[in-house]
């Protein structure tokens, strides 16, 4: 249902009318002026019909709803260049523009109120997009060039055809490359390989001036580091070059349960320290989560345990209120399948999980990486994937994680008794993150990611927001210097606090690469 069948002038009139009636002071052109847009090549790629507007007004969070004036369906990188250049060259206060990948943000980050949302997914269908191209070079080894619009699941399948794969992932793969690189892209591999933003060789970026720039650590490095973790503020990523390694065929996947938090974190920290330093024969993935005494396991991560073991796990959870689940993975392939069990045993030696509470599965590499998908499809079929998601994701410094457990998990979460969906808690090594990127993490060498991945009823998300606020207040009072991941703030002061020592650089980069402050207004940083 693309716009090509509709006369271009009709769309332009709709688009212009909406901008004129809703854009207030930042209206892009006056009514007496014949819209220049009519003459432009890309006009027929704009849609302002209700279906298009609706599709770009919200996101996975389903809490924030902000209408754009129009949605742009590019069929090439040049189309996006033309749109941004048009806005930049013709208006002192241009309409805003937001790239929308999969729209899997949770607080309207990919919206553009009264502006134009660029539907990056339309590039996936186009032959003119970057696509996914695997290459081997003498200097860089194997890498893949992927369009910013591509989904990680497609990157996985395309690279596996060459027996290769990227090393750093997210838990869920139906996210766009541009979307995760604008945040960080973290999962259980991050302790060892760093987040996805630590695993990029080069990018093509269209800046807020409409310039298409190739950047890397060596070339246009200021733009390169600005864009990585840059919340879409400095440009639209149209290509990323990502290193590849030989892909394993299968994985040993182990979960171990702990009733004592300090034992759990001591083991997690030991694992990421030892394995984070090793080049080979190391664990490939370390995560963790909570099992909370709040009814039956109710989320898309709970299908791991054999049903025959559920009664004994439930009884352990009932007894303690919260149980901590350590999750690790070791990859293997044909030539290591004889030795992997022994290696795994060695790597897990000395861990102090509760006796008898270790569970193991052996699955293919793809089944493991794509593990969230089956839960997603199940929730879709029950109409439960589209509900509001009042998520809160934090980075908690190691020094505060014990207080966080007692003050947040034990006091707030257990007492409120409303938590639904996974609660993740796992540590990462700061030295795997590049200080020069825009991403913000705690100052300590080891910090935890804690994710409250709530889903709520359509009217019930405020209760989760209250809980989120309460726990943020707790951290504030307890002096735990958390940083939000997928930050959501409304005032300039909060943003300045969030970025801390990086705020000056962040503002200077904005002035340089998007001086008219057009890009990603839904983040609410400069608007
Ligand atoms: P969108 O929501 O479309 O956009 C996010 C921001 O990036 C917006 O500001 C947008 O304008 C900007 N943007 C989008 N595309 C581009 C581009 N090409 N160039 C520049 N800016 C762009 N994250 C993790 O790190 N690890 C996880 O394990 C993880 N699991 C998730 C599981 C689920 C079920 C969901 C819903 C989200 C998960 N996320 C995870 C969060 C996810 O990484 C972010 O929400 C990410 O932004 C989603 O990508 P997207 O393509 O949907 O981005």
What letter would DSSP give residue 174?
Answer: -
Position 458 scores a pLDDT of: 78
* Mean model confidence pLDDT for the chain: 91
Degrees (nearest 5) of the Cα angle 419, 460, 523? Answer: 90
Query: What is the best residue among 182, 195, 204, 378 to mutate for testing ligand 1's pocket, by most ligand atoms within 8 Å of CB?
Result: 182
The residue ranking higher by pLDDT, 91 or 327, is 327
Q: Which of 442, 514, 451 is CA-nearest to residue 106?
A: 451
174 CA → ligand 1 middle, Å = 10
CA distance 271 to 203: 33
Provide the sign of the torsion angle of the four alpha carbons 358, 359, 364, 369, taken in this order: negative
Q: Is the pLDDT of residue 403 over 70?
A: yes
Task: Exactly one of 171, 269, 370, 514 is catalytic; name it.
Answer: 171
Query: What is the best residue among 61, 110, 156, 441 to mutate for testing ligand 1's pocket, by most ligand atoms within 8 Å of CB?
Result: 110
CA distance 305 to 312: 11
Position 128 scores a pLDDT of: 73
CA distance 398 to 352: 19
Mean pLDDT, rounded, for 456-474? 92
- List pLDDT tens digits, range 336-390: 999 999 999 999 999 999 999 999 999 999 999 999 999 999 999 998 899 999 9
Position 459 scores a pLDDT of: 79
Q: Is the pLDDT of residue 14 over 90?
A: no
Q: Is the pLDDT of residue 232 over 90?
A: yes
117 CA → ligand 1 middle, Å = 15
Q: Which residue has the tokens 């709040």?
A: 294
Position 293 scores a pLDDT of: 78
Mean pLDDT, rounded, for 170-198? 98
Task: Exactly one of 44, 104, 267, 488 is catalytic; name it.
Answer: 104
Mean pLDDT, rounded, for 102-123? 97
Q: Is 287 a catalytic site residue?
A: yes
Q: Is the pLDDT of residue 34 over 70?
A: no
Least reliable range by pLDDT among 148-162, 240-254, 290-304, 428-442? 290-304
What letter would DSSP give residue 42?
Answer: G
Treating both helix axes as pointing N-terminal to C-terminal, what angle do 492-499 and 503-513 enclose, rounded to 10 degrees? 110
Position 16 scores a pLDDT of: 53
The residue ranking higher by pLDDT, 304 or 79, is 79
pLDDT band at 302 (very low <50, low <70, confident <90, very high): low
Task: Return the residue whose CA atom lies nearest to atom 32 of ligand 1.
Answer: 172
pLDDT band at 6 (very low <50, low <70, confident <90, very high): very low
pLDDT band at 7 (very low <50, low <70, confident <90, very high): very low
Give every CB contact of residue 284 below 8 A, 6+ residues apart in sequence. 188, 189, 192, 248, 251, 329, 330, 331
Residues with CB under 6 A from ligand 1: 59-60, 98-105, 109-110, 120, 148, 170-172, 175-176, 178-180, 182-187, 231-232, 236-237, 486, 520, 522-523
pLDDT band at 44 (very low <50, low <70, confident <90, very high): confident
Position 456 scores a pLDDT of: 87
CB–CB of 491/526 below 8 Å?
no
Position 2 scores a pLDDT of: 33
Provide the sign of the torsion angle of the four alpha carbons 69, 75, 81, 85, taken in this order: negative
Q: Is the pLDDT of residue 26 over 60?
A: no
Taking the mean position of all CA atoms in its chain, how far away is CA 166? 16
> Strands 97-100 and 116-119: what pairing?
parallel
Mean pLDDT, rounded, for 163-178? 98
DSSP bridge partners of 82 = none
Q: Is 422 helix (H, G, I), strand (E, B) or coil?
A: coil
- List pLDDT tens digits, range 57-83: 999 999 999 999 999 999 999 999 999
pLDDT band at 295 (very low <50, low <70, confident <90, very high): low
Annotate 387-402 with DSSP letters as a single string.
S----EEEEEEGGGHH
Task: Return the residue whose CA atom lies nearest to atom 42 of ligand 1.
Answer: 180
Mean pLDDT, rounded, for 119-123? 97
Mean pLDDT, rounded, for 237-251? 98
Position 36 scores a pLDDT of: 61
DSSP bridge partners of 202 = 216, 241
Q: Is the pLDDT of residue 300 over 60?
A: no
Position 15 scores a pLDDT of: 55
Helices H / strands E in the chain, number of each:
18, 19
Q: Is the pLDDT of residue 527 over 70?
A: yes
ipTM: 0.99
Position 37 scores a pLDDT of: 58
With a pLDDT cut of 70, the percent of the chain lying above it is 91
Residues 229/232/238/242 CA torsion (nearest 10 deg)? 10
Q: Is the pLDDT of residue 17 over 60?
A: no
pLDDT band at 193 (very low <50, low <70, confident <90, very high): very high
Position 237 scores a pLDDT of: 98
Q: Is the pLDDT of residue 85 over 50?
A: yes
The residue ranking higher by pLDDT, 19 or 36, is 36
Q: Is 498 a catalytic site residue?
A: no
CA distance 487 to 503: 14
105 CA → ligand 1 middle, Å = 6
pLDDT band at 418 (very low <50, low <70, confident <90, very high): confident
Q: What is the pTM of this model?
A: 0.93
Q: Is 386 a catalytic site residue?
A: no
DSSP bridge partners of 102 = none
Q: Is the pLDDT of residue 487 over 60?
A: yes
Which CA distances in Å does 376 have to 14, 289, 371?
Answer: 36, 18, 9
pLDDT band at 416 (very low <50, low <70, confident <90, very high): confident
CA distance 482 to 132: 37
pLDDT band at 25 (very low <50, low <70, confident <90, very high): very low
Give every CB contact of residue 88 below 8 A, 6+ residues apart in sequence. 94, 208, 209, 210, 516, 518
pLDDT band at 18 (very low <50, low <70, confident <90, very high): low
Position 61 scores a pLDDT of: 96
Q: Which of 170, 134, 165, 128 is CA-nearest to residue 149?
A: 128
Note the helical H segments in 109-151. Answer: 121-124
Q: Is the pLDDT of residue 407 over 90?
A: yes
CA distance 204 to 238: 5
């Amino acid at each position: 249902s693309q716009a090509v069948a509709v006369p271009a002038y009709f769309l332009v009139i709709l688009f212009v009318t909406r901008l004129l009636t809703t854009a207030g002071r930042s209206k892009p052109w006056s009514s007496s002026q014949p819209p220049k847009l009519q003459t432009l090549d890309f006009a027929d790629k704009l849609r302002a019909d209700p279906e298009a507007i609706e599709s770009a007004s919200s996101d996975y969070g389903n809490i924030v709803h902000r209408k754009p004036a129009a949605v742009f369906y590019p069929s090439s990188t040049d189309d996006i260049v033309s749109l941004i250049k048009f806005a930049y060259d013709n208006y002192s206060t241009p309409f805003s523009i937001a790239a929308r990948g999969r729209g899997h943000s949770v607080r309207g980050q990919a919206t553009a109120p009264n502006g134009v949302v660029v539907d990056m997914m339309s590039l996936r269908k186009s032959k003119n997009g970057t696509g996914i191209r695997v290459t081997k070079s003498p200097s860089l080894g194997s890498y893949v060039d992927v369009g910013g619009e591509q989904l990680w699941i497609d990157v996985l399948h395309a690279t596996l055809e060459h027996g290769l794969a990227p090393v750093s992932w997210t838990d869920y793969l139906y996210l766009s490359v541009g979307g995760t690189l604008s945040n960080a892209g973290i999962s259980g591999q991050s302790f060892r390989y760093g987040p996805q933003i630590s695993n990029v060789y080069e990018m093509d970026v269209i800046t807020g001036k409409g310039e298409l720039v190739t950047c890397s650590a060596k070339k246009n490095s200021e733009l390169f580091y600005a864009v990585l973790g840059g919340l879409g503020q400095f440009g639209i990523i149209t290509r990323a070059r990502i290193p590849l390694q030989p892909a394993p065929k299968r994985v040993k996947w182990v979960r171990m349960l702990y009733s004592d938090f300090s034992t759990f974190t001591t083991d997690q920290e030991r694992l990421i320290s030892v394995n984070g330093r090793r080049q080979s024969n190391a664990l490939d993935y370390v995560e963790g989560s909570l099992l909370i005494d709040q009814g039956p396991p109710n989320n898309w991560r709970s299908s791991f345990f054999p049903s025959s073991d559920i009664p004994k796990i439930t009884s352990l959870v009932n007894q303690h209120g919260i149980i901590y689940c350590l999750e690790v993975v070791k990859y293997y392939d044909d030539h290591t399948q004889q030795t992997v069990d022994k290696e795994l045993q060695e790597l897990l030696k000395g861990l102090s999980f509760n006796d008898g509470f270790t569970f193991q599965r052996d699955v293919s590499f793809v089944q493991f990486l794509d593990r969230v998908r089956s839960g997603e499809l199940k929730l879709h079929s029950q109409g439960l994937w589209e509900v509001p998601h009042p998520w809160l994701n934090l980075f908690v410094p190691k020094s505060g994680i014990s207080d966080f457990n007692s003050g947040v998990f034990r006091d707030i979460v257990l007492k409120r008794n409303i938590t639904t969906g996974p609660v993740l808690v796992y540590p990462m090594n700061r030295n795997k993150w590049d200080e020069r990127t825009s991403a913000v993490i705690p100052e300590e060498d080891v910090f935890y990611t804690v994710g409250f991945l709530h889903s709520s009823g359509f009217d019930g998300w405020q209760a989760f927001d209250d809980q989120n606020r309460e726990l943020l207040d707790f951290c504030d009072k307890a002096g735990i210097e958390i940083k939000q991941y997928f930050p959501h703030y409304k005032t300039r002061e909060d943003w300045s606090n969030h970025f801390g020592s990086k705020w000056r650089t962040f503002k200077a980069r904005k002035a340089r690469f998007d001086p008219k402050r057009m890009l990603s207004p839904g983040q609410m940083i400069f608007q």
